[in-house]
Amino acid sequence: MSTSPCATTIIGTGHFVPEKVLTNADLEKIVDTTDEWIVSRTGISERRIAADDEPTSHLATEAAKNAIENAGITAEDLDLIIVATVTPDTFFPATACYVQAKLGATNAVAFDISAACSGFLFALQTARHFINTGNRKTILIIGAEKLSSMVNWEDRNTCVLFGDGAGAAILQHRPLNEIQKTPTPTVLASVMGTNGALTDILRVKGGGSACPVTPENADDKLNTISMQGREVYKKAVTAMCQASEEAIEKAGLTAEDIKVVIPHQANIRIIEAIIDRLGLPRERAFVNVAKYGNTSAASIPIALDEACRSGVIKSGDHVLLVAFGAGLTWAATVVRW
């Protein structure tokens, strides 16, 4: 590996969503809700639901294959795989290990990261450290979720919000002089943060060691998502704005330099509030929440891949990725495409 100054580049992206579409009209038959309420409060029209035989590792592997092909490498080229998820196939082994086996990525080390909706950017930042220290060269990062497996389908406050899917990116070590000759999407700056004092406003309370699900409490649905929506909304807007501003400044840029914003796709109102506060025109945000709902760690890489493939992101553009999730966690990354 070269010892000249290097940077972390993004050499490929990919995504995968399951075939089954669950529309707002379908939800009207399950809980007391309306398409009008869901669209006006969240911007979501439909979401994808994985089949029983499609665990998170399946979604992750399909997204990874897509990214590997896009990058023009093989699975054997990977030396690290990081999967960000809160819906792992099993508590252990890590979902990343199942993905490694499914891909045949025999030269890689594999582990998971748990940072809820910020997971993909936490994975990106972790991978970047491995690359910038010269420890690893080619890294697959994936955000993948089967949230339908932990939704309470009787709770209209939450079940309308979430969907399943996966997105992936291939990061690679590149010497700076090579990037100057052949421009390649390059990570310029990243910030991340957590606030563990607010774990209770968004969580799955049961099913872990603190509160195992037992025959006695099985009816309480403790292993499903519970959320104080308004609190989450307020914290999300504040933290995502602050993280965006810090990352932009760290990259030596101003908000006006950002051509495309890829925000976590939780809710159109959160996205618009952030864009407005950054003083940017709303068209700068790439939004696909209407099609997929909130796919947690998968939402940013799915949106990133769609934005790349549809030509929304062009070579030379400064792109801001920004996330917020349970923990609380937040993160922002600036990439020069």
Catalytic amino acids?
117, 264, 294
Least distance to ligand ACO, CB of residue 242, Å: 15
Query: Residues 45, 193, 211, 233: which binds ligand ACO (CB under 6 A)?
Result: 233
Q: Which is nearer to ligand ACO, 38 or 121 (CB)?
A: 38
Burial of residue 89 (CB within 10 Å: 0-12, 13-18, 19+) is buried
**What are the tokens at 296?**
């947690």
- Is the distance from CB of 120 to CB of 141 less than 8 angstroms? yes
Q: Which is nearer to ligand ACO, 44 or 99 (CB)?
A: 44
The count of residues interacting with ligand ACO (CB under 6 A) is 23
- Is the distance from CB of 280 to CB of 243 less than 8 angstroms? no
- Per 3-state DSSP, the chain is made up of helix, strand and coil in percentages (nearest 5) of 40, 25, 30
Q: Which is nearer to ligand ACO, 108 or 304 (CB)?
A: 304
Binding to ligand ACO (CB under 6 A) within 54-93 occurs at: none
Q: Which is nearer to ligand ACO, 107 or 195 (CB)?
A: 195
Distance CA(320)–CA(322), nearest Å, equals 6
3-state helix/strand/coil string of 78-140: CCEEEEECCCCCCCCCCHHHHHHHHHCCCCCEEEEECCHHHHHHHHHHHHHHHHHCCCCCEEE
Tell whether residue 292 is a contact of ligand ACO (CB under 6 A): no
Task: Give, in order, the Cα–Cα distances in Å from 217 to each of 87, 199, 262, 270.
Answer: 21, 21, 40, 35
Least distance to ligand ACO, CB of residue 262, Å: 14
Tell whether residue 33 is a contact of ligand ACO (CB under 6 A): yes
Least distance to ligand ACO, CB of residue 107, Å: 34
Distance CA(168)–CA(17), nearest Å, equals 12
Tell whether residue 161 is a contact of ligand ACO (CB under 6 A): yes
Tell whether residue 193 is a contact of ligand ACO (CB under 6 A): no
Q: Which residue is nearest to ligand ACO (CB)?
A: 229
Least distance to ligand ACO, CB of residue 162, Å: 7
Which run of H or of E encompasses 220?
A: none
Distance CA(286)–CA(214), nearest Å, equals 43
Binding to ligand ACO (CB under 6 A) within 257-286 occurs at: 264, 266-267
Distance CA(149)–CA(205), nearest Å, equals 15
Tell whether residue 143 is a contact of ligand ACO (CB under 6 A): no
Query: Residues 35, 41, 54, 246: which binds ligand ACO (CB under 6 A)?
Result: 41
Query: Residues 232, 248, 308, 320: which binds ligand ACO (CB under 6 A)?
Result: 232
Binding site for ligand ACO (CB under 6 A): 33, 37-38, 41-42, 117, 156-157, 160-161, 202, 227, 229-230, 232-233, 236, 264, 266-267, 294, 324-325
